[in-house]
Amino acid sequence: MLVQPISDAIIRVRDITVQFGRTRVLDGLDLDVKRGEILGFVGPSGAGKSVLTRTIIGLVPKVSGRIEVFGIDLDAASSSERRRVERRWGVLFQQGALFSSLTVRQNIQFPVREYLRVSQRLLDEIMVAKLVMVGLKPEVADRYPSELSGGMIKRVALARALALDPELVFLDEPTSGLDPIGAGEFDELVRTLQRTLGLTVFMVTHDLDSLYTACDRIAVLGNGKIIAAGSIADMQASQHPWLRQYFHGKRARAVIG
């Protein structure tokens, strides 16, 4: 068994199979994410990392298997239970997925306004607090997404994902398309937020730097299964060919220095 049963798992995925037509993308996959950790999720392009993320958050239907988030079986949950679970997680999509016809302010306030009856004053204050947390100036509040740079879009999208103070966030390639300095800052930011808010982070990434600096644990996807899970040291020690290439290739050596 690669994955030991963990009592304090915030996400528990068991024997998940996902199929598109005849292609089986995930094949009997098991995965646990522990409370309070940052899990880095890696694998070759097209291995199904985003598919697993989307399956857990319910955007892709699965053929079989069982997904528990916060100890609630998402298939057995009633729609109101599901909504309660959805309120407790935040998702950062690869392209940000900001609402293009709303300003930054409205984007961040949108989930809060829908779920909580609070005054406009508190909405504005919380919005600014989130912007400050993700390292943006309050002046960007009245800009539209089309007026933001790529890095700012990611930050605003993270602020929106954090708007309701979720316990769990899914980050789909958060540092892709950022310059190395911006990516480094983003990793640092995720670390800080995890410390201050006690977040659990599920991060799909290709960025070796992120794995080294931000993640507590790493899971590797291949052939529709988790082929390895553990600390960065475990990954480096692994004899799996893809892992050897990934962690001992030219780029990896550059990162380790």
Partner 1 sequence: MNGDPTLERITQGGGLALCAAGPWTARFAPVLERMVADAEKLRGTRPDIFIDVSQVSKLDTFGAWLIERLRRSLSHGGGEATIAGLSENYSSLVDEVRRVKETPEAETGPVSITAMLDQIGRVVVGIGGTIIGLIDMLGAVLVASGHVLIRPRSFRLTSTIHHLEQVCWRAVPIVVLITFLIGCIIAQQGIFHFRRFGADIFVVDMLGVLVLREIGVLLVAIMVAGRSGSAYTAELGSMKMREEIDALRTMGFDPIEVLVLPRMLALVLALPILAFLGAMAALYGGGLVAWLYGGVDPEAFLLRLRDAISINHFIVGMVKAPVMAAVIGIVACVEGLAVQGSAESLGQHTTSSVVKGIFFVIVMDGVFAIFFASIGM
CA pair distance 203, 139, nearest whole angstrom: 29
Q: Give min distance, CB of 148 to partner 1, in A.
A: 10
- What's the longest Cα–Cα distance across the chain? 57
Strands 9-20 and 23-34: antiparallel
DSSP H helices, 134-216, are: 150-161, 180-197, 208-213
**Nearest approach, Cβ of residue 22 and partner 1 (Å):** 30
Which residues from 189-208 bind partner 1, rule CB under 8 A? 192, 195-198
Question: Which lies closer to partner 1 via its Cβ, residue 49 or residue 155?
Answer: 155
Say whether 178 sits in a helix, a strand or coil: coil
Pick the closer one to partner 1 by CB: 51 or 199.
199
97 residue type, one letter:
A
- The CA dihedral of 47, 40, 111, 178, to the nearest 10 degrees, is -80
Which H helix or E strand runs over 110?
Answer: helix 104-115
145 versus 151: smaller Cβ distance to partner 1: 145
Cβ 240 to partner 1, closest distance in Å? 38
Rounded least distance, CB 156 to partner 1, Å: 14
> Can residue 164 be called a binding residue for partner 1 (CB under 8 A)?
yes
Q: CB-wise, 22 or 117, nearer to partner 1?
A: 117
Angle subtended at Cα 172 by Cα 163 and Cα 86, rounded to the nearest 5 degrees: 45
Q: How far is the CB of 123 from partner 1 (least distance, A)?
A: 10
Q: What's the CA gap between 180 and 195, in Å, rounded? A: 23
The reply to whether 2 sits near partner 1 by the rule CB under 8 A is no
What string marks each residue from 122 to 161 as x (binds partner 1 by CB under 8 A) or -? x-xxxxxxx-xx----xx-xx-xxxx--------------
Task: Provide, rounded to whole angstroms, the least separation between the CB of residue 91 and partner 1.
Answer: 17
- Tell the residue number behind the tokens 């990162």, with chain if given: 255
Question: Residue 4 or 80: which CB sits closer to partner 1?
Answer: 80
Helix (H, G, I), strand (E, B) or coil at 228: strand
With beta carbons less than 8 A apart as the criterion, state whether 164 and 90 touch: yes
Residues 89-108, mask of contacts with partner 1 (x by CB under 8 A): ----------xxx---x---
Binding site for partner 1 (CB under 8 A): 99-101, 105, 112, 115-119, 122, 124-130, 132-133, 138-139, 141-142, 144-147, 162, 164-165, 192, 195-198
